[in-house]
A and B are shown apart, each in its own frame.
Chain A
Amino acid sequence: QSVLTQPPSVSGAPGQRVTISCTGSSSNIGAGYDVNWYQQLPGTAPKLLIYANNNRPSGVPDRFSGSKSGTSASLAITGLQAEDEADYYCQSYDNTLSTSVFGGGTKLTVL
């Protein structure tokens, strides 16, 4: 059971918008720690997608955006493309566990 809760799967048709939620608690997201997001294509290492809640590294399309409110965060993907089909993970810090923690991951299927 992950400290950060994500839906196991989401899906959408090409061109649509999808969101992936990441729910934490008062010891992690709710304590003011930032949230980062990673994309893991099949058989590859995770790749940083969003850092510090809503910042995109160079090279990440602006179709990807992040937000945070209270004890939760969200990743939004607009203009869905087939190449977006992957697992997505959120990550934050937990001050009770004293370590960075990840969500359980969400599998995005492009219909």
Chain B
Amino acid sequence: QLRLQESGPGLVKPSETLSLTCTVSGASISSSSYYWDWIRQPPGKGLECIGAIYSGGSTYYNPSLKSRVTIFVDTSKNQFSLKLSSVTAADTAVYYCARAATGRTDWFDPWGQGILVTVSS
């Protein structure tokens, strides 16, 4: 059974870089023809796509966040990671990793349990 699990600091200071890792179990990132995504949800609000990495290494970033986002993969650990630079309080959110199946519109399944990251000094 495919499972995803987010990990990383729950508290980041303003202007610093948020770093999260998603560990995938039950399938190999490198052998699957899927995108591996990061999605976030500010407290009490809706969902926002951050970006994705393909098993072959190509990336896609939401244009509204592109200047601050880097997503990369470590196939030896079956993990993919997110870095978001110059964070502000507006980046406080639950961050989810998910696998995306490609279609006319990608759909996200399954999702990790999510990790709350608070930006505060």
Which residues in B have their C-beta under 8 angstroms from that of A2?
46
Q: Enumerate A40-82 residues with CB–CB distance to B below 8 Å.
A: 44-48, 51-52, 57
Which residues in B have their C-beta under 8 angstroms from that of A101?
49
A102→B48 contact, CB < 8 A: yes
**Which one of B11-19, B25-33, B73-81, B108-116 contacts A?**
B108-116
B104→A34 contact, CB < 8 A: yes
B90-121: contact bitstring with A at CB < 8 Å (1 yes, 0 no)?
Answer: 00000010000101111111111110000000
Q: Which of A45, A47, A100, A104 contacts B105 (CB 8 A)?
A: A100
A98→B63 contact, CB < 8 A: yes
Q: Tally A residues with Cβ within 8 Å of B.
A: 28
Whether, in the assembled complex, B47 has its beta carbon less than 8 Å from a beta carbon of chain A, the answer is yes
A97→B107 contact, CB < 8 A: no
Whether, in the assembled complex, B62 has its beta carbon less than 8 Å from a beta carbon of chain A, the answer is yes
B46→A92 contact, CB < 8 A: no
The dominant DSSP class at the B interface is: loop
A47→B111 contact, CB < 8 A: yes
Which residues in A have their C-beta under 8 angstroms from that of B108?
36, 38, 46, 48, 91
B103→A34 contact, CB < 8 A: yes
Which residues in B have their C-beta under 8 angstroms from that of A45?
96, 111-114
Q: Which of A44, A48, A98 contacts B107 (CB 8 A)?
A: A48
Which residues in A have their C-beta under 8 angstroms from that of B105?
33-36, 52, 91-93, 100
Instruction: For the complex, give the distance between the alpha carbons of A92 and B48 in Å.
Output: 12
18 new A-B contacts, CB < 8 A, other than A46-B108, A48-B107, A89-B47, are: A33-B105, A34-B104, A36-B105, A36-B108, A44-B113, A45-B113, A48-B109, A51-B107, A51-B109, A52-B103, A52-B105, A89-B46, A91-B47, A91-B105, A93-B106, A99-B62, A99-B63, A104-B46
Contact sample, A vs B, 15 pairs, CB 8 Å cutoff? A2-B46, A34-B103, A34-B104, A45-B112, A46-B96, A46-B108, A47-B109, A47-B111, A48-B110, A51-B109, A52-B107, A98-B63, A99-B64, A102-B48, A103-B46
